Amino acid sequence: MDSRDLRIDQARTSIEFLGSDAHEYLPHLAVDCVVFGVHEGDLRILLTHWTKRDRWSLPGGFVRNDESVDETASRVLRMRTGLDDVFLEQFHTFGSLDRGHPGADRFVSVGYYALVDFSMATPTPDGILTDECRWWNLCGRPDLLFDHDEMVARALGTLRLQLGTRPIGLTLFPDDFTLPELQRLYETVLGRSLDRRNFQKKMRELGILTRVGEKSTENSRRAPYLYRFDAEKYAEALERGDSLAY
């Protein structure tokens, strides 16, 4: 999709939200995406800023008549980040009675979560309803519109359960990282602090890390080691069972 198509696509989604072209979409059905990335060892989340309301929400969109719900989620992710082919999974559908966008009907929303390579994403607002799209540190994010705080909490809960069964760490850390950075990711996902010594011991024993060098630093006495996930051994560990869960 070139930039002009992208623009039309963005406009369409927003126009529908405002009431026109509604016949091109399934009524009452939306998709919202909890997009996670890691930068400088911190778990980040992608949010969009609503111009008129001056509040933040998850990126979302509506289901076209000619696309599956999974395709809607992929399209939303592509529009907001420029990324295709990323880890994107449904985690829960939100169907309570009080769900509705301002001035619009009740919406049932299918929640997806995505794990993306932070450095590859280009956050892009739709330019109509929202004027900004950017990463927030998960722990320092603003209160979100609608029931999106609940969505984030549930997505995190899913991430937590899936640490042992899906390639969460590998997907969030495609490149080098230090063990303290990895520990911070685990702590953010698990919502509790972990003992440094036990964490490092367990991670080393799993046999899924490769040491690739030392981190260049200017002012530390001893540079921390850099690691990378061994994708093959990671897959074998997942195959063996829940050993990656913490």
Residues that bind a copy of itself in the complex, under the rule CB under 8 A: 26-29, 63, 65-70, 72, 90, 92-93, 95-97, 106, 108, 110, 161, 164-165, 241-242, 245
Q: Which is nearer to a copy of itself, 47 or 77 (CB)?
A: 77
Q: How far is the CB of 27 from a copy of itself (least distance, A)?
A: 6
CA distance 20 to 11: 11
Q: How far is the CB of 127 from a copy of itself (least distance, A)?
A: 27
Q: Which is nearer to a copy of itself, 67 or 117 (CB)?
A: 67
Q: Which is nearer to a copy of itself, 107 or 177 (CB)?
A: 107
CA distance 129 to 88: 24
Q: How far is the CB of 155 from a copy of itself (least distance, A)?
A: 14
Query: Cα 243 to chain center, whole Å?
Result: 23
The one-letter code for the residue type at 106 is R
Q: How far is the CB of 26 from a copy of itself (least distance, A)?
A: 5
CA distance 102 to 104: 5
Query: Across the chain, how many H-helices and E-strands are there?
Result: 7, 9
Residues 6+ apart with CB under 8 A from 81: 35, 46, 116, 121, 122, 123, 124
The one-letter code for the residue type at 10 is Q
Q: Which is nearer to a copy of itself, 10 or 72 (CB)?
A: 72
Which helix (H) or strand (E) covers residue 62, if one does? strand 60-64
Q: How far is the CB of 112 from a copy of itself (least distance, A)?
A: 10
Q: Which is nearer to a copy of itself, 1 or 245 (CB)?
A: 245
CA distance 59 to 49: 9
